[in-house]
A and B are shown apart, each in its own frame.
Chain A
């Protein structure tokens, strides 16, 4: 991420004044409004957001996603509509003993949430409450500005809620913790800015489920920032499911830092949302780290999905694996940019990356950019990217077994994407993802007995 220097200033567009209006309007209602520490912290980031502006496709990182067009529109902070237990229950995952924080349009719905009875050393807090109750500590803990990032800065300025998850050394949360983000479309264009902070101490273990569900269509932008710190030998399993509804957009930036022998297994499925962008900035700062990133995206209609991944191997003997698959139908457009950066000290790194894509329609598009940047010599790095139609021989095989063409195509398309879905650790997430996948597969109705 390069700071937009003077010469490249023109690649960013200045934010429209509506942002400043929204900021002024929201200041008095955002958590931590009385505390100067939080006020300053917000102002600092907002000023930088104004300074940086919004990226246009001329910025390399945003080459395939015109976010300025989608985000540089007047938006107010989303209000909290009423959502009952009946509306959300079907999205509960992680089993009966899972703990859950539920957010509606970026506001914590504490009456639906359940995080009590946590074991020793495990702390799960509402970030909004922390900003309100412990402003000085929060401002310090959330940290000052790193390098500028339009959306991360915007998130800090408008930060309203989120989760603070901290596991001390050796702490283990046996059952999954679900963060359920619900977006309920509203007549006017709105935005929400939640944040997730996860800190795992030495040998701590957490299974985090992050689900983003669109309950009603409408223009709503969710701008999520995630900070993940994994201590020595810590283990994080992270299942992420994105089921946005029509008109809802999502921009997410995840920054992860993994210490020695830490393990991360993340699986991400994007199965809905007008515009979804997931940016991942993964740093392997300790040696012998294992990181696995799985992803699947299946945009239909005019949806747009963009995955940007940067994996920094900063220490020796790290192992990273990216496995992303995409199926594009109708007029959908998907982009994948995965970059592996192996620093000079990161000898004996193993880094792999796969990106396979399937286009189902003549108007769908895929842009893939698998990238390697390597400064160490004793490494094994490889990447592969493919794009094409269904395998003719596989089709022929199925047809020779008596399936008609449409059935055979549905089965193969489903199987292509389902390979990633199977990597979800939580069975309920897997089931939910499979249902959405079937709904999006052409001729999927005939596949329901596969569920």
Chain B
């Protein structure tokens, strides 16, 4: 175990943690989605880096090559990228709707408004 042999894992962990930190600590909802994106791309790295063989080539089979990198993680991550952008689009649409409804995309402000709504007078008691 040396620095070079595990560096890609550690960068992956760093990126995962930066993404997680942004999701947890930043109040802005768009910033949170960007943090989610960082987390997601770190997962791409987690999958693809172990499939690499130094001295190998991209998995496009030709007569003059003998060593190829592993193609399976590439396939899985191709799917993940496309699904990721779909998730991002849906999340941003939700953020835009939240902005229209609350006038803010700051999580603290939104929670404050919700709390104020819950404790406001005129309870309007209709159960069920």
Verify that A and B bind, or say they do not.
no
